[in-house]
């Protein structure tokens, strides 16, 4: 999925969240994340969707994925700096 399309879908799902249509938002977030499970912008909005939906445990799981994805990027950057 191209970045422009991911961004459009992320925004569309975020609007569904704001409208209270949490199920529709989740479906879109899951679709986007199936092609890029480490997209932190989408993960953040997905977690926020769960918070608004009063699904705290699911939100925590998603926010932990953001933390894990950030750690992976930090490790990769560190390795690249060391090897240059």
The domain ranges of the chain are 3-83
- CA 10 to chain centroid, in Å, comes to 9
> Which superfamily is assigned to 3-83 in CATH?
Tetratricopeptide repeat domain (1.25.40.10)
32 in the Ramachandran plot: left (φ > 0), alpha (ψ -120 to 50) or beta?
A: alpha
**pLDDT tens digits along 32-84:** 999 999 899 999 999 999 999 999 999 999 999 988 877 777 777 777 787 65
**Is residue 42 a contact partner of residue 32, using CB atoms and an 8 Å limit?**
yes
| DSSP element (H, E) containing 4 | helix 3-19
3-19 vs 40-52: helix axis angle to the nearest 10?
Answer: 10
**pLDDT tens digits along 9-19:** 999 999 999 99
pTM of this prediction? 0.84
pLDDT at residue 83, rounded to an integer? 61
**Is residue 22 a contact partner of residue 16, using CB atoms and an 8 Å limit?**
yes
């Amino acid at each position: 999925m191209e970045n422009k399309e991911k961004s459009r879908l992320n925004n569309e799902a975020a609007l569904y969240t704001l409208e209270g249509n949490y199920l529709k938002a989740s479906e879109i977030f899951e679709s986007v994340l199936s092609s890029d499970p480490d997209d932190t912008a989408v993960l953040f909005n997905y977690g926020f969707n769960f918070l608004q939906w009063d699904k705290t445990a699911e939100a925590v799981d998603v926010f932990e994925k953001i933390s894990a994805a950030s750690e992976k990027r930090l490790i990769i950057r560190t390795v690249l700096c060391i090897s240059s």
